[in-house]
Amino acid sequence: MATADDAPTVPGQALGGPGAPRQRRESDPATAAPEHLDLAALEAEAAALLPPAVADFYAGGAESETTLAEAPAAWRTWRLRPRVLTGLSAVRLRTSLLGSDVATPIGIAPWAYQALAHPDGERGSARAAAASGALLTVSTSASAPLAEVAATEPGAPKWFQLYRQHSPAHTDDLARRAGQAGYRALVLTVDLPVLGRRLRDVASGFALPADLPPGNLPTESAVEAESPVWTVDDIARFGDLSGLPVVTKGVLRGDDAARCVQAGAAAVWVSTHGGRQADPAVASAHALPEVVDAVGDDAEVYVDGGLRSGSDVFTALALGADAVFVGRPAIWGLATGGADGVSRVLDGLTAQLAHTMLLCGVPDVRSVPRDAVTPAR
């Protein structure tokens, strides 16, 4: 999708004022090789810093954790098909997501209770996203109230993720408040009719500390019976309540994606919920092409789940995603370095993506061709 700035760019120095998406200057690709980003080492460092129950809460999946384990490997079932002798000397990383300009197609997925990882919590993630020109998605189960996170770097684009986990009145109120606070889209998590069985949390007895209540928890007077299970009719309803475009997150089937778009969704987000819901489920890397084909040009498509390198991101874009989102890598960065740690993850992955694009002869993240990847044999 076109944006106002069509200059070719690669990772480089930040430009622009506070809160503006970070723009990346053109540089010589011969000297622009990305710094080494060792996410496995970062995960180990984060696990060593966190209390064991918190580390398991962030790391764990549902049931047998098959979905969790298979997610990264699924991206490696595709192979790059580089195009040579293209004369390419720079690549364009900027794009637009539901009308918001961003400096990178790599955003931060919603993740609960980030203050357990670092005292700055979601505010730290908001500062990091703004510094890297990335889009931040804020969870209903954030440690900080949605308005406070929205007010952190207010000029930077943020989306609010909505769960069906409180009373109908409180859930509706959260949707309204998200629109009023300046969020630019409402992300409905649609893969949670019931909570997945996360056995690590059961074994560890994970519970929130008494001094860290969720930032968007209803008051006792607002607690009622749990919300009824959502249907596609709720897509338009929540759009009306919030005044925002609606993204449906947690879609793994083409027919479901088509129903969501027909019901008013502006975008579909392919996700296994970090392997924390149905298990074993189809990997996002394998579900993505079917969803893209079903949606066509009628809506944007995003994906998360196991993305651990710039080549993974490139593969997702080639398969038709408009953007990708990372969850656990951002948490590892937050735990080990606060906002700066999250920025290092975002910038490192973006630099890897730019490097892969140069190697494959692809100039623009908005037009990575489908034939740039092929199934492994």
Which residues, at least 6 apart from 33, have a Cβ–Cβ distance to it below 8 Å? Answer: 355
Of 365, 374, 361, 364, which is closest to residue 84 (Cα–Cα)?
361
pLDDT score for 106: 98
Of 256, 324, 325, which is closest to residue 295 (Cα–Cα)?
256
pLDDT score for 27: 38
pLDDT score for 34: 60
- 68-109 pLDDT, tens digit each: 999 999 999 999 999 999 999 999 999 999 999 999 999 999
Report angle CA 185, 123, 163 to the nearest 5 degrees: 45
* Distance from C-alpha of 32 to C-alpha of 187, rounded to nearest angstrom: 35
DSSP class of 23: P
For residue 166, indicate whether it is catalytic.
no
DSSP string, 25-47: ----GGG-PPPP--HHHHHHHHH
DSSP class of 302: E
Selecting among 118, 273, 286, 355, the annotated active-site residue is: 273
Is 112 annotated as contributing to ligand binding? yes
Is 264 annotated as contributing to ligand binding? no
pLDDT score for 36: 84
Is 89 annotated as contributing to ligand binding? no
Is 327 annotated as contributing to ligand binding? yes
Is 262 annotated as contributing to ligand binding? no
pLDDT score for 212: 80
pLDDT score for 232: 96
Q: What's domain 37-361's architecture? A: Alpha-Beta Barrel (3.20)
Of 205, 200, 189, which is closest to residue 61 (Cα–Cα)?
200
Residue spans of alpha helices (H) in the chain: 39-49, 52-59, 66-75, 121-132, 146-151, 168-181, 199-204, 233-242, 254-262, 284-295, 310-318, 328-360
Q: Is the dihedral of CA 82, 86, 87, 88 positive or negative?
A: negative
Is 158 annotated as contributing to ligand binding? no
Is 198 annotated as contributing to ligand binding? yes
pLDDT score for 22: 42
Is 19 annotated as contributing to ligand binding? no
For the full predicted model, state whether its pTM sits above 0.95. Answer: no
Q: Which whole-number Å values give the CA distances from 279 to 70, 189, 360, in the listed order?
A: 11, 17, 35
Is 276 annotated as contributing to ligand binding? yes
Judge whether 324 and 350 are in contact, CB under 8 Å.
no
State the 10-residue block means of pLDDT for the chain, 377 residues long.
Answer: 44 35 39 73 96 92 93 97 95 98 98 94 97 97 95 97 88 96 97 86 84 77 66 97 98 98 98 93 98 98 97 98 97 97 97 97 97 95
pLDDT score for 160: 98
Judge whether 93 and 367 are in contact, CB under 8 Å.
no
DSSP string, 151-179: HSSTTS-EEEEE-S-S-HHHHHHHHHHHH
pLDDT score for 165: 74
**Backbone φ and ψ of 280, nearest 5°:** -80, 135
